[in-house]
Structure 1
Amino acid sequence: MAILVLSECGLQSLPCISAIPRNGFILRDYSNPKLLHSSKIFTDQNPSPIKLLGGCFRERNWGIKVSEPISPVGEGERGESIKRVNGIEEDDSEFDPGAPPPFNLADVRAAIPKHCWVKDPWRSMSYVVRDIVLVLGLAAAAVSIDNWLVWPLYWVAQGTMFWALFVLGHDCGHGSFSNNPKLNSVVGHLLHSSILVPYHGWRISHRIHHQNHGHVENDESWHPLSEKIYRNLDNSTRFLRFKLPFPMLAYPFYLWKRSPGKTGSHFDPNSDLFVPSERKDVIISTLCWTGMATLLVGLCFTMGLIQMLKLYGVPYWVFVTWLDLVTYLHHHGHEDRLPWFRGKEWSYLRGGLTTLDRDYGWINNIHHDIGTHVVHHLFPQIPHHHLVEATLAAKPILGKYYREPEKSAGPLPFHLLGNLVRSLKKDHYVSDTGDVVYYQTDLEINHYSKSK
């Protein structure tokens, strides 16, 4: 597996643009301020490809050269900034979250200090070392003590650390880990394979999510079901999708089969998730995943199935729960309704502004501030250790489009469970028509749940 990863790292990176159709794209390297106003844009009406890096049209390491898709400039999104008096917006009209914002992406970027964009590979690696030491230390302590009063504490702690490893691998996929694509790829494979995530397969689908966030049809992560798709689901599928704990255990199944209404697999190089130039990457990641799975099976024979379930199996499902919980709550469950877009109403900026920041108490530091999600969605190249500062700088520009997260009353974010439960009871589907839509509630499913 290590040979495959190292040989893969010698491949030259190619320009990254998603195959998902959209109104337009913008290619920009945000690490170079000189390129801020020199980006080249092409749209569906002007489909001529941009020749970059040897004439290739897609890039494996998508986070290094930033690809920010935007629709053709809409009214209110360019050439008009927020008007403020002593830092306060002059416009006191009722806030419409589905309306175009009175600022553009460049306004937000300009507010973020330049040092927030700097990627320090040594600092990034220090977080990797910290997390791996904690993972190994927790496992050694649990085996040494071997007490059933300790094992549940170990499962929660180790599962949370698996989730922290995932976040660092996620940063590698975005290119926010370092400016070195080889380092990103090696670290990303080692971290993600260790927790049974196909690095390239997931990286590519996650890129699609970022490039289409807030779009009803094209979004990839926890996107809404249209009413037609929803009504065609059988009752058991609806029940499992909206009844705890089942939605919080969905991630492994999503990797194999994606969401309702979509086809393909993160392990299949021929899946419609990928273009031909990405198939080699997907094969390598699938082989790395297979190598880790084989190692775990071998350890089951060596150490015993029960011991491996205690050491790895249960923490893995705690990690899955964290992943599903965090990704869901960053796009659902706010007390105010969040819009979803179609057609010309969608843009990269407007879609990104429908994401939510969340406060996880002590877990904020453990899982590398992934709760500061709005700025991360708009600018995924910012290293995680600068996200809090970048968010504070961007908030005056974002205004009411930034929804202040509810603070955790204690060290653990138990307050988020209420948001999760309420959302699963209310956020079921969106209308088949309309370019700005909101979640609607199926009252029958709640009745069906009670009858079960």
Structure 2
Amino acid sequence: MTASILANQDRTRASAESPPSTSSDLMLRDIIKTLPREVFLKNRRKAWSKLAINVLLVGLGYWGLAISPWFLLPVLWIFTGTALTGFFVIGHDCGHRSFANRKWVNNLVGHLMFLPLIYPFHSWRIMHNRHHKHTNKLDVDNAWNPLTVERHQNTENPLRWAYEKIRGRFWWVGSIGHWAMYHFDWSQLEGKERKQMRFSALLVIIAGAIAFPLLIATTGIWGFVKFWVLPWLVYHFWMSTFTIVHHTHPEIPFNRSEQWNELEAQLYGTVHCTYPRWVEFLCHDINVHIPHHISTAIPWYNLRKAHQAIEDRWGEKLNEKKFSWSLMQEITDTCHLYDDETFYRAFE
């Protein structure tokens, strides 16, 4: 995939220097042509060294949990859970084949990174690639797709109650619901994809069936909560927060299929959000997210350079935010139900 992008860039670089001036004239490949060639190149040293650092940091977090007094545990849960989110981001690159050149290496590393999170790698990879293909397409995108007013009113009470909570102040558990509802049901797929999803799902189920009883037997119920449940909840807090912020804002629309435009969704419907530097470091710059939606072939360590190139050329209309409670309040107070004219309508 990377080689074809680079070859296409070389053939068309001259014409891309002066792209059409209006977004209606542009296509996604026009944006790709303007990016520096080197942002698509994989760097084996960077990929493997950061993986090793990430493993060491997660190990440091668990070592701290084992020896620290009770009053330091909240800090260590936050640190360890955030470092585990880094595991997910490395597996995320593996799912896009941007970690290594060989498919089997991406599959192996992806499964290993996802295993401590009890997350089936292939099912996530398949579902997530659909999100990239249909970003912010109403009723097709599988990431934070808003209900229409009619669907919300016709939803059974328990599900409607859960939807209202997750679109509000309980957004931070949304990733858990997505994980449980979508990633273990291989009957929704066919052929090779079904086999791959079943393999990944059974792998993490078997791993959990072995690891969790051993952890409880050796550390007790409190040890299970301390060493796995609470770091896992921190990881899902970040997953929920990152993903809702990536494409959700009162100014960013979901669109019906007949109105959906690929360029508008990927370039202007994706949010670049700045988090504290320690979060950016532990989570491998995954929130430098616009270039990732321009091309999934860009490895995480090249996202900032790619973003700078995009910002220099298209920056006037890019959605750039800074993570804060006021941002989350704005999203969770407003972005509830789909509206054709105002993009979102609040429950009230």
The answer, yes or no, to whether TM exceeds 0.5 is: yes
Name the aligned partner's letter for residue 6 of structure 2: P
Aligned to 1:366: 282
Contact 1:197/1:289 (<8 A) preserved = yes
Residues 387 and 248 (structure 1 numbering): CA distance in 2 closer, same or farther, change over 3 Å?
same
Letter of the 1:317 partner, please give it. L
Asked if 1:122 is matched to 2:22, the reply is no
2:122 corresponds to 1:200:
yes
Q: Which residue of 1 aligns with 2:345?
A: 440
Q: CA RMSD in A?
A: 2.4
| AA matched with 2:194 | R
In the TM superposition, what is the alpha-carbon distance from 1:326 to its structure 2 partner?
0.6
Aligned counterpart in structure 2 of residue 248 of structure 1, from 142, 163, 172: 172
**Could you tell me which of 262, 265, 270 is aligned with 1:355?**
270
Deviations 1:158-197 (A, max 9, x none): 0111111111111110111111111100000011011111
* Counterpart residue number, 1:6: none
2: CA distance between counterparts of 1:292 and 1:254?
20
Task: Give the superposition deviation at 1:238.
Answer: 4.4
After TM superposition, the structure 1 = structure 2 runs for residues 30-109 of structure 1, keeping only pairs within 5 Å, are 31-35=4-8, 81-83=19-21, 100-109=23-32
Partner of 2:248: 332
**SS of structure 1 residue aligned to 2:99:** coil
Counterpart secondary structure, 1:439 = strand
CA distance in 2, matches of 1:354, 1:369: 18
Q: 1:221 aligns with which of 143, 154, 164?
A: 143
Q: CA deviation at 1:243?
A: 3.3
Contact map agreement 1:339 1:354 (CA 8 A) in 2: yes
| CA offset digits 1:372-403 (Å, max 9, x no partner) | 11111111110000000001011233243312
Kindly indicate whether the alpha-carbon contact (under 8 Å) linking 1:103 and 1:397 is maintained by their aligned counterparts in 2: no
Deviation at 1:111, TM superposition (A): 2.1
Distance in 1 separating the partners of 2:57 and 2:240: 23
1:379 aligns with 2:317: no
Q: Distance between the aligned counterparts of 2:62 and 2:2, measured in 1? A: 41
Q: Which has the higher contact order (CA 8 A, sep 6+)?
A: 2
- Indicate if the aligned counterparts of 1:198 and 1:289 stay in contact, CA closer than 8 A: yes
1:65-124 deviations in whole A, cap 9, x for unaligned? Answer: xxxxxxxxxxxxx9x8344xxxxxxx8xxxxxxxx4443323321221111100123321
Once the two structures are superposed, residues 313-360 of structure 1 have per-residue CA deviations (whole angstroms, 9 ceiling, x without a partner) of 1111011111001100111236xx112222332132121120100001
Conserved? CA contact 1:107–1:397, under 8 Å: no
CA distance in 1, matches of 2:259, 2:248: 20
Distance 2:315 2:53 in 1: 36
The residue type equivalent to 1:269 in the other structure is: W
Report deviation, 1:36: 5.5
Mapped to 2, the partners of 1:144 and 1:365 lie a distance apart of: 25
Shift of 1:253: 2.2
| Larger displacement relative to structure 2 (155-164 or 234-243) | 234-243
TM-score, length-normalised on structure 1? 0.70
Of 418, 429, 441, which aligns to 2:326? 418
Give the match's secondary structure for 1:340: coil
Q: Which of 143, 147, 152 in structure 1 is aligned with 2:66?
A: 143
Question: SS of 1:370's equivalent?
Answer: coil
Which of 263, 269, 282 is matched with 2:186 structurally?
Answer: 269
Q: Distance in 2 between matches of 1:156 and 1:289?
A: 23
How far off is 1:308 after superposition? 2.1
**Structure 2 portions without partners, runs of 5+:** none
CA distance in 2, matches of 1:405, 1:158: 26
The secondary structure found in structure 1 opposite 2:135 is coil
Partner residue of 2:257? 343
1:349 is paired with a residue whose SS is helix
Q: Which has the higher Rg, Structure 1 or Structure 2?
A: 1
Contact in 2 for aligned 1:333/1:420 (Cα 8 Å): no
Kept in 1: contact 2:134–2:140 (CA 8 A): yes
1:308 aligned to 220, 224, 227, which one?
224
Q: State the shift of 1:134 in Å.
A: 0.8
1:286 alignment partner AA: A
| 1:31, distance to aligned residue in structure 2 (A) | 4.7
Shift of 1:232: 2.0
What is the 5 A alignment of 1:155-170?
155-170=77-92
Pair 1:291–1:125, CA change in 2 (3 A): farther
Cα distance between partner residues in 2 of 1:128 and 1:101: 41
The structure richer in helix per residue is 2
Counterpart in 2 of 1:288?
203
Secondary structure of 2:70's match?
coil
- Give the Å deviation of 1:285: 0.4
CA contact (8 A) 2:164 2:336 kept: no
Kindly tell me the number of residue pairs found equivalent between the two proteins.
Answer: 339
Say which SS state the counterpart of residue 381 (structure 1) adopts.
coil
Report the Cα distance in structure 1 between the residues aligned to 2:199 and 2:79, rounded to whole angstroms. 30
- Report which stretch shifted further, 340-349 or 107-116: 340-349
**Alignment match, 2:320:** 404
Q: Is the 8 A contact 1:108 1:397 kept in 2?
A: no
Distance in 2, matches of 1:427 and 1:252, equals 20
Note closer, same or farther for the CA distance 1:252–1:292 as it changes in structure 2 (3 Å cut): farther
